[in-house]
Amino acid sequence: MNTPKFTLTKDEKMTNRFMGSKVSKKTKFMNEDIDIHKLTVAQVLGIQEKAKEITDEANEKENIGILLYVIRAGTPELKDLSDDEICALPMDELTNLSNEILKYSGLVNQKK
């Protein structure tokens, strides 16, 4: 049985309806509803690369860098804030938001 062969030209380029789509939900952040997105595989790999660079003697700045990366990747409303603007927010609220993004993305075991 012969399989037909074909070549796509630039005009026939196929697109996938899922490319660029985001899965999101609302969660609480500083007593307000905010949208969070599930992280993509590329974003998860970026987090893993940053985590590999941190040693046991890592300083607080490196750990905060991962926190900021997760928050920017998973929270569209906060992605354009500067480091200083995000760091002016309460630490426990930022940590809870980051954990919620990681849980929603399947990276942290959720309590059953």
pLDDT digits (tens, 9 = 90+) for 12-66: 455 677 777 788 999 999 999 999 999 999 999 988 888 887 766 656 777 888 9
Residue 47 placed within a domain: yes
Number of domain units in the chain: 1
Q: Which two tokens stand for residue 69?
A: 């990366």
C-alpha dihedral sign at 20, 24, 29, 32 = positive
- Could you tell me the residue range of the domain that residue 35 belongs to? 30-104
This prediction's pTM: 0.74
Residue 65 placed within a domain: yes
Report pLDDT for 26.
96
Q: How far is CA 30 from CA 33, 89, 93, 96, 109, in A?
A: 8, 9, 6, 10, 23
Q: Give every CB contact of residue 5 below 8 A, 6+ residues apart in sequence.
A: none
How far apart, in whole angstroms, are the C-alpha atoms of residue 45 and residue 54? 15
The backbone torsions φ and ψ at residue 71, rounded to the nearest 5 degrees and listed phi first, read -65, -45
Residue 23 placed within a domain: no
Residue 12 placed within a domain: no
Residue 42 placed within a domain: yes
Instruction: Provide, rounded to the nearest whole percent, the portion of the chain with pLDDT above 70.
Output: 78
Q: CB count, 10 Å around CB of 67?
A: 17
pLDDT at 1 over 60: no
